[in-house]
Amino acid sequence: MPFVSLSMEILLFLLYPLALYRLWLMLPALALHAVLIVSTAMKYGRIPLIGIHETLGFLAFTIGALAVIAGWKRNRDLFSYIIIPLILLLLAGSIASPAMPGALPPVLKTLWFELHVILSFVSYALFSIGAVFGILSLFYNEERAENNQYRSLLLGYVLFSTAMIFGGIWAYFAWGTYWLWTPKELWTTIVWFFYSLYLHARLVRGWTGPKVVWMGILGFVIVMFTYVGVGLLMKSSHEF
């Protein structure tokens, strides 16, 4: 079975680049990736979002799915030239990381945890798409791309906030507290404050143009550090 999974992951490396020609050609890769995710879930009888191996793969899949939705009508351009290498980079990271086979530890067996993790990664994917639209906006000076960045980040912010609330509920049932003073929680708050800052700057102060676009791109760097960097460099209640 690990051989089959690895073969499917390598096949994904061949299928995703098809989208460099036309974005809808990502659909076969997404279908295969969905099969891989669902089969992992069925094999272990749990949500397939444990450890860096599974979460990087899920993030790559979510970015791909959202990119197809957000860029369906786009012709071949910088959008797919950024998205596809990003997906391949995440997939490579996933394959290089050790898998965590087996069932969930009892403390993670709750719907609140599952909702917390799924929504977190969907919001990370939206923040990634927002950053890509930001680059497009700077490159083509496209107002539509800036608007798409704002929409992605607004939706990402709402889902991220909801994920944090669900995470707090889970933590309260699991550990008797909805907040712990650890680097991961502080960085999560940094992400949340940062996008609050972005939305206030744009919605209330009416900022537009390169200033807010750059904020959206910087936000992606902060999100990636919160996701991967904190887990690798700092000890926390979260493994990733």
Which residue in 11, 190, 224, 228 binds other proteins (CB under 8 A)? 190
Cβ-proximal residues to 237 (8 Å cutoff; 6+ apart), any chain = 180, 182, 184, 185
**Torsion angle of the four alpha carbons 169, 173, 174, 175, in this order, in degrees rounded to the nearest 10:** 90
* Min dist. Cβ of residue 43 to other proteins (A): 16
**CB nearer to other proteins: pick between 74 and 151:** 151
Binding-site size for other proteins (CB under 8 A) equals 46
Name residues contacting other proteins, limited to 97-126 (CB under 8 A): 103, 105-107, 109-110
71 DSSP 8-state letter: T
196 binding other proteins? (CB under 8 A):
yes
Region from 42-50, 64-72, 76-84, 153-161 binding other proteins, contact rule CB under 8 A: 153-161
**What H or E segment, with its residue span, contains residue 125?**
helix 111-140
For residue 46, what are the CA distances in angstroms to 39, 42, 232?
Answer: 10, 7, 24
* Rounded Cα distance, 171 and 163, in Å: 12
The values of phi and psi at residue 163, to 5°, are -60, -40
163 binding other proteins? (CB under 8 A):
no
First to last CA, the chain: 25
Name residues contacting other proteins, limited to 66-85 (CB under 8 A): none
170 binding other proteins? (CB under 8 A):
yes
- Tally the residues of the chain: 240
**CB nearer to other proteins: pick between 73 and 205:** 205
Where does this chain bind other proteins (CB under 8 A)? 103, 105-107, 109-110, 147, 150-151, 154-155, 158, 161-162, 165, 168-170, 172-183, 186-187, 189-190, 193-194, 196-197, 200-201, 203-205, 230, 234-235
